[in-house]
Amino acid sequence: MELLLLSNSRTHGRPFLEHAAEEVRAFLPGGKPLVFVPYALQDHGGYTATVAEALRPLGIEVVGAHTAADPLELVRDAAAVFVGGGNSFRLLSALERTGLREVIRERVHGGTLRYMGSSAGTNMACPTIRTTNDMPIVQPDSFEALGLVPFQINPHFLDVQPGSTHMGETREQRITEFLEENDVPVLGMREGAWLRVSARAARLGGTTGARLFTRGTDPREIGPDADLSYLLDAAPEFDAAP
C-alpha cells in the first residue's frame, strides 16, 4: 500500500496544502488525474475547486468524484485518490451510500491505488471513526472505515494548554476513555504532521510530531521522522474489556 495521511490540509497563515506541498508532489503520480472525494463538506464543487487550485502549481490535475456519472468506475480507473477533510460522519455515510468504501479499500489494499487523506479523510484510513473529533451530524450505517492501517489516528491533536480554564475533556482524556473500551493504539497527530506508509514501512512526517496512546501505558511523545512501522503490526480489539 501507498498512503499519505495528513492531520490537516489548512495551516494557519499558509495556503491550502502548502505546508505539505513537497510531500504531496512526491507522493502523487503523474499521468492520470487525481480523483478527489469531497463528500465531507456540503459544497462539493467549491471544495473540489479549492483542491484543484492548490494542486495546479504541482502539475496535478484534479477531478471530483461527484462529477462522474459512475464514481465507482472513476475510482477503479484512477491511480490516486484524495479523500478530503470535513465531517467524518457525513463522509463515511457517503462512502457507504455510493459503494466507494469497498472499492477504495479493495484497490488500496491491492496496491493499485494510492490513497491520500486529510483530517476526516485520514480518519477513513483507520479501522473505525471512533477517534474522530467531529459531531455526528448524520448517522452512518456503522463506524467501520476503510481499515487501511490497523490502528487509530486522531487528527488535529491538541495538547493540554497550561493555565486553560476550559472545563471540558481534553483530547488526551477523550482518547483515554476510548482506550478504556478498546485495545488499539491511537496516534494523536498535531496539525502540521502526516504519516507516510509505503508497503510495510511507516514514517511520521512534518515538523510538529505526535503523541502515541496505548492501553495501560503512559502516552509517548513521537518526534518528526520517527519510524512507526511497528504500528502496522497492531492487532486491534474493539469493545475489549480492560
Q: What is the pLDDT of residues 157-180, one digit of tens each?
A: 998 777 777 766 899 999 999 999
Is position 242 within any domain? no
CATH label of the domain that carries residue 20 = 3.40.50.880
Is position 81 within any domain? yes
- CB under 8 Å to 38, separation ≥6 — which residues? 44, 45, 47, 48, 51, 64, 65, 66, 84
Q: How many residues does the chain have?
A: 242
Segment 142-162 shows an average pLDDT of 94
Q: How far apart (Å, rounded) are the C-alpha atoms in residues 190 and 119?
A: 11
First CA to last CA distance, the chain: 32
Q: In this structure, what C-alpha cell is assigned to residue 25?
A: 508532489
Question: So what's the pLDDT on residue 162?
Answer: 78
What percent of the residues of the chain are helix, what percent strand, and what percent coil, each to the nearest 5?
A: 30, 20, 50
Is position 54 within any domain? yes
Contact 192, 206 (CB under 8 A): yes
Contact 7, 126 (CB under 8 A): no
Helix (H, G, I), strand (E, B) or coil at 141: coil
Over residues 37-61, the pLDDT tens digits come to 999 999 999 999 999 999 999 999 9
Q: How far apart (Å, rounded) are the C-alpha atoms in residues 146 and 144?
A: 7
Virtual CA dihedral for 52, 58, 61, 64, nearest 10 degrees? Answer: -30
Q: Which residue has the cell 512526491?
A: 26
Is position 238 within any domain? no
Question: So what's the pLDDT on residue 167?
Answer: 63
Segment 87-91 shows an average pLDDT of 98
- Catalytic pick among 66, 134, 198, 229: 134
Catalytic, 134? Answer yes
- What's the structural domain count of the chain? 1
Contact 85, 79 (CB under 8 A): no
Q: How far apart (Å, rounded) are the C-alpha atoms in residues 195 and 188?
A: 11
Q: How far apart (Å, rounded) are the C-alpha atoms in residues 104 and 106?
A: 6
Residue-number span of the structural domain to which 203 is assigned: 2-233
- Catalytic pick among 156, 166, 183, 218: 156
Entry pTM = 0.96
Virtual CA dihedral for 32, 146, 96, 180, nearest 10 degrees? Answer: -150
Is position 240 within any domain? no
Catalytic, 88? Answer no
Is position 241 within any domain? no
Question: So what's the pLDDT on residue 47?
Answer: 97
- Catalytic pick among 7, 9, 88, 119: 119
Cα-based distances in Å from 35 to 32, 76, 84, 92, 93: 9, 10, 11, 17, 19
Catalytic, 156? Answer yes
Is position 118 within any domain? yes
Is position 173 within any domain? yes
Q: In this structure, what C-alpha cell is assigned to residue 27?
A: 507522493
